[in-house]
Amino acid sequence: MSRPPSKRRRFHTQPSTDDTSSTAHIFAPASTSHSTSIPHPTSYEITLNHNSELKRSLLPPSFSPSPKESEEYGTRLVTWTSECGTQSITTDRYDAVHLLSHIPTKPCPTDDDADAAGWSGLDSDTEDLFYMTSLEAATFAHQKAKTTLDAQRSVRLATLPSPSPPPPPSTKVAAVLSKAQFDLMQRTARAVASSSNASLLELKILANHGADARFAFLRNDAGMQPKWSAVWEALKTSKGEMGYDAALNMCDDRGVKPSSSAGGALVAYDDSDSDSQSDPQPEPKAASTESPPTTAATQPPTTPDDASLKKKQKQAERLARAKQWLLTRASHSTSPPTP
């Protein structure tokens, strides 16, 4: 029985003495000369010879097939046997590897390749992951991904255009207390003083007119007019009986000068002293009528936390000392002279 036709040169020997072309062995007849070396199977042939299911699928079925199927299945598998008859290989006739003229040889590993093998050719984290458990490796991968995302986010934020610089803070300038504003504060103070529940009425006014800048004195901060709160407290204390000039003096940083208060008291004393000698004049009366609002304005307010309220307390103390001095002087002047 002759061997099937040769499909490729799978023997590591000298080339055949055929004069045909390099592809003639694919369609060569059965009388073509063959090599006498030991056949070396390829990877597909090794799988075919050791995988019984694959080999059984290529054999003709057990039932009686048609003559055409028997011929097809009979010529599908080809058995190659060595010259000594001790080794045989079953191969697939329709395997594409038979189209190759020769089998590419794999180079033998050298000592240099063995020395180059190690952790240096791998990723920097591969060695660490090799000694970790599955839970530790998952945690490590999660932290690494989180760090990568944070770094990418930082890069994106750095590439964004810088926002426009904020506008310079506007310097708050205290507005001058106008006459119309003072009249509004005075009317409000009188309405609050005449109410049975002053705190509730003040809260209602603030709730209804809080958005109006004219009623900013009802708030604690007073917005752009920090001195208006002190004027408002003084108006509530005096029940609206405070003059506009006294309010302007409170809004002034210098406050009411002690000398002017003492001078007013001295003028009142001189006028009262002159009343005993001559008829009263209209000018001293005007001075005496203007002095009570000044005295009411200099009364200490109920909330001494503010610096302006402390100033008013000091002014009231100075005025009290001036009055005490005037009373002492008056007592000495009215006493009869000693003989």
CA pseudo-torsion sign 56, 57, 58, 62: positive
The confidence score (pLDDT) of residue 333 equals 63
281 sits in which H/E element: none
The confidence score (pLDDT) of residue 32 equals 40
In this structure, which amino acid lies at residue 311?
K
| pTM (predicted TM-score) | 0.27
Q: What is the pLDDT along the chain (339 residues), one digit of tens a residue?
A: 455 544 444 444 444 444 444 434 433 343 344 444 455 555 666 666 677 777 677 666 555 456 665 555 556 777 778 788 787 777 777 777 767 777 667 777 666 655 556 666 667 777 788 888 999 999 999 999 999 999 999 999 888 876 666 665 555 555 677 778 778 888 888 888 887 887 788 778 877 877 777 777 777 654 446 667 777 777 777 777 777 777 777 776 544 443 333 334 334 444 444 444 444 444 444 434 444 444 444 444 455 456 778 888 888 888 888 888 878 877 766 655 554
Question: Residue 209: CA atoms inside 13 Å, Cβ hemisphere, count?
Answer: 13
The confidence score (pLDDT) of residue 7 equals 47
The DSSP symbol for 232 reads H
The confidence score (pLDDT) of residue 141 equals 92
Residues of the chain by 3-state class (helix, strand, coil), percent to 5:
55, 5, 45
The confidence score (pLDDT) of residue 148 equals 93
The DSSP symbol for 88 reads E
